[in-house]
Amino acid sequence: MAADIVSKLSGLIKDPELERLDLTLLKPNFFEILGLSHMEIRHSNFLAWILDPHQSHRVGDIFLKWFLKDVFSDQKVTWINEFRVDSLNTDFVTIHREFKSIDLLLETPNFVVIIENKLWSKEHSDQLSRYKAVVEREFPEREHAFVFLTPYAEAPEQDEDRETYVLFNYESIIRILEIIMQTYGQSISDKVSAYIQDYISVVRRYVMQDDEAITIAREIYNNHREALDFIFENKPDRLLEVKQTVEDAVLKAGYVLGSLGKGYARFLTPKLDTVIPKGQDGGWRNGEGFLFEVIYRNKVMTLNCVVSPGPQSSREKMINALKTIDGAKNPKGLKWSSVHSHSHRINVNHEKYDDLGMLAKDIDEMLGKEKAFINEVESVLLKALYDKG
């Protein structure tokens, strides 16, 4: 079995398609460089920019009019049709972002078009009906059109919204942009052209899943399924990679490690280690009644003070003692009670922490900042449990 998988892995790394995929992904893309590919708000910002005929793209109202032709050709818009778009005066068009929470609002002296952009998020709280009411209230003398923009022209959840909102998809956005590039590309500046092409690539890759890189990747997977599945099953686990670094930093600060877990480093001060109840059922592996808890699973690193399940009398003593320290919160859990929580801007997944020495340095600094607080917790718990100063 081992020899067989090694042979399959060897075939994978010798596949020239892998090199082709690598070269495709290495092409610089403005949106990917800035990490904007999956941010819905950034897509709305781009659309606001390209829809606005007064913006720096210098393509005037070309995109705007193509967009309106598509919208106004829908039977849900009864007060105008696509044939009248070319004669529209766009000198006084205004594009609003987040007007009354509406993603995009296109305002003219005669009509208003709203665009609700749902790229990865879902509808909530009857928002489409509310936005329709907002527009009718704020612009009662003007005509209205409502657009629901999604990756694949999905319909709204409510029946009344389906009757009102024109369904629009990102394929249509890309189609219009490609028409502009093919027809007017020579007159568009290199900078704007590159910006638009990058946006087209990002939408094809991340929204529509229709991109050269994805095609190559699927072909490679089909040809090397077993080798790739083996790699996926044995890919590095970042939390396990940094586990030792976090725990070493806790030990270096002079604390005693308690029950551990992936993404959690729990500890006590040496004095508390001798008095905190242990061996309790229903809690951590070692049954501690209380632990400091460093959580590093998320985008921030958090220091919590946690009282675990156990005898109610000792729980109440510890919780009441911790509440005497500034910043205490009322614990919500009946079994697990987190009375204090301090967040620090340490994201172990950030590329700067590929250098584990840098991560260790920042954790040392964090624990240094928390030293006075940890000492105060030690003092009140010692006093509460054993009346020791």
Q: Mind listing the pLDDT tens digit for each residue in 141-160?
A: 999 999 999 888 888 888 89
Record the tokens describing residue 172, joined without a space: 């249509």
- In which element (H, E) is residue 112 found? strand 111-117
Whether the predicted pLDDT of 24 surpasses 70: no
Cα–Cα distances in angstroms (integers) from residue 99 to residues 107, 127, 174, 225, in the given order: 11, 13, 25, 48
The segment(s) of the chain belonging to CATH 3.30.1460 are 238-386
Could you tell me if 64 and 51 are in contact, meaning their C-beta atoms sit under 8 angstroms apart?
yes
Q: What's the start-to-end Cα distance of the chain, in Å?
A: 63
- Which candidate, 179, 250, 203, places its Cα nearest to that of 259? 250
User: CATH top-level class for 238-386?
Assistant: alpha beta
Q: Which of 54-58, 100-104, 122-126, 355-359 has the lowest mean pLDDT?
A: 122-126
Q: In the β-sheet with 264-268, what is the strand arrangement from edge to edge?
A: 256-257, 264-268, 290-295, 301-307, 337-344
Average pLDDT over residues 176-194: 86
Average pLDDT over residues 209-225: 69
Q: How many residues does the chain have?
A: 389
pLDDT tens for each residue of 54-87: 988 888 999 999 999 999 999 999 999 999 999 9
Q: Interhelix angle for 2-13 vs 225-233, to 10°? A: 110
Confidence of residue 253 (pLDDT cuts 50, 70, 90): very high
The reported pLDDT for the residue numbered 388 is: 44
Give Dmax over CA atoms of the chain in angstroms: 86
DSSP string, 170-192: HHHHHHHHHHHHHHHGGGS-HHH
Q: Give me the percent of the chain exceeding a pLDDT of 70.
A: 81
The reported pLDDT for the residue numbered 389 is: 41
Q: Which of 26-40, 154-168, 273-287 has the lowest mean pLDDT?
A: 26-40
pLDDT tens for each residue of 362-388: 999 999 999 999 999 999 999 988 764
